[in-house]
Structure 1
Amino acid sequence: MSEQAHFLAVDIGASSGRVMLGRWDGSYIALEEIHRFSNGIVERNGHLFWDVNRLWRETQKGMQRYAAQENQALLVSVGIDTWAVDYALLDAHGELIGDPYAYRDPRNEGMAELVDAIIPPEELYECTGLQRLPFNTLYQLYAERSGPRLATATTLLLMPDLFHYWFTGVRVAEYTNATTTMMLDARQRVWAIDLLERLGLPARILPPLVMPGTRLGPLVSEVQHTIGLHRPVEVIAVGTHDTASAVAAIPGLDAQSAYISSGTWSLVGVERTEPLTSAEARRLNVTNEGGVYGTIRLLKNVSGLWLLQECQRRWNEEGHQLTWDAIIAQAETAPPLRSLIDPDAPEFLAVGDMPARIRDYCRRTGQPIPEMVGEIARCCLESLALRYRQVIDALERLTGQSITTVRIVGGGSQNTLLCQLTADA
């Protein structure tokens, strides 16, 4: 492609979303953020949900800004990625059956153990290659096995595929996100229908799989007109798991490099050509996720900046109104290596009073109790950096390859203190 062209990319994470414009000038792509919006979990009647209709409106708003301000004739295609594991259910009329549950919803508690009683964990890991996490899609779906939503559902769509459906009317499951569900055969790269049938889950609701780069079709006319585009524009199924797209974009990623996709979650891993599902891999609880260009991302989910996001939310509720810059500035002046936590401890997973949980953890483990904002923030960041070190050491042992470079991408790459602490570790 030598001529000028425009591409729109929608990127929605667990804490924010954005619509990006990529301008191709024949040699390079320049990126411009044209709309950013918040995202967050909504609590209703004791359960946690995503307000996907608001996210859909914000996505269209960003595209409307493009349509009003830019040369539409240059627009080639649209792509979207989001976070993983969560899903929407559609009824027989193609309508959404309520807002999707958020992966931190308490309904998931105990589901992994119930599934274990039917399918041994060793067998499940050998087939899917997925890290055991309480919110994997399989466990979430098992929590709905006898509920009214699943009884009336005709289609399950992962979050980016819900937007694909609203964009084009096409119902598919893009491969990279499907690999995070614990419902896909990691080697055959097809739905693991047998697993669902043994659990009494309806495999009929799973849509066809498509690979990254698949052309899904043009925007439906209603959406095209709402956005203000003068002609149909094609929608492409990109690497719709945000980590898949992030890793695909990392320059210089080779056999001696590890990556950290740093955001609400930190995904720490290496790229491979085949899944690794050995007993040692299962013991280390690493995951095999599908990448763009047929790669496998061998990685571990680490709690990430969720810890500080929840702390900030709590501090702001208490009236402190602290910006990210203010929190990091206080962390920089706090005493180093005074208190440490396990970022992946179960008590840090749920929504709640994160500063109190961190203090309780330190009290219980006989460490100095962090009280001030800077002390708590420093505790979070140093604990993350050391956790990254642990995971990278484990990946070296598991793969037998030496890792000499760590490449950090995502929103957390802008946190210079965390990057420096990671380099130090």
Structure 2
Amino acid sequence: MAQDIDRSDDDTDSAVRTFPKGTTIFREGQISDVAYIIKKGRVSIYRILNNKRVRLGERGPGEMVGEMGVITADPRGSNAEALEYTEALACDKRLLQTMLLKSPRPVQLLTGYLADRVRALSGQITDRPSGDPFLAVCRVTHLAWQVASRSEKPQLDYAELSRTIKDIVLLSQIEIDAIFERLKKLHLVAITDVKGNFPRKNILGTTKPGPSFVKERSVRLPDPDTFLAVAKNVSRDARDRQDFGVDLEFCDLGDFAREAGSSPDIIIKKIGYGEIPEKLFFFHKSASRDYIDAMGQEFFRQARRPRLTAADLERIDDITAVDNATLQEVFSVLGFHKVAVLAAMAGDAARDKIYKNLSKKIAGVVREEAAALANLDDDEAAAVEQELLERVKTIKGLAS
């Protein structure tokens, strides 16, 4: 809603403020001392409920954020974050009150009524267990279809499917209907309605059909093999929509790995190698205390590297777990060029390990040759990597 501000009385009551992308403009619970009219950029409004970020909407140029708290004198009921570089006109309480006092009495009463409504609705905002309700509904539907497809004429009863979705995703029927309507428009589901009617008798005793209603509704997946893949693409394309939604404020290791297209064991290795900053990871406080009590503090005072097994050696970067004596023996057999190939393809930690297990003179030669291998041949690199791993396994008695 565009705002028309009368600033003729006191031009010092407002000022343009700038917020770089990602800046928190205000936080939930803070004193509501100023509202903002956005001149440029976009602002996200959200709340944090039970470790979930509940998106309440976005505001753009000409729209106001933070006005309700200033009007009602309540603490901030939500958070505001700049989604991009934003310029906003700051309006303090005195300016807003002046604007309201200049408004007709009915407008003042309506403003108070709307503020009460916003306060009441804000208290009804809840979190949901799914960060993406659309994709969650699609996954439940796909699982249900896998069971139904075993029958001769597979189909899903819409009412029963809706009850299952409500139990798992905790959505209302209105939201479920909206999602299936969208899936129907995308031709991802086929919905069949069986209609019925209540017969009526007129004053002559003649029975005639009354208003029709949907007696039964069934759902089919025309292409179950591609259903989830298409649904994921639709969900990904809709991430920037302004609709109400929920995101987890924190994710666990498994979710992090899936988002990165990796696996938890590889992520753990990268954390151990220092390749991922530790500030990205958090522990659940009460669960952590219980685990510390169960294991004892002595358990955490020393970290032992797991015993080397054949399965541990899969790629060049895994040599960080190999002892120095073994690496020195292998490098002496491989020769300068192959070691240079290994250094050129290795990650930072593995490359440092290679150089530390060479004499200074040889390390200098290997560095120069590795730097010259700008266009490393993939087949040669794979062959040298395989030879390194096999030689290490042979020395450790792990060769098959």
TM category, shorter: under 0.3
Normalising by structure 1, what TM-score?
A: 0.20
Tell me which structure has the larger Cα radius of gyration: 2
Structure with a larger share of its residues in helix = 2
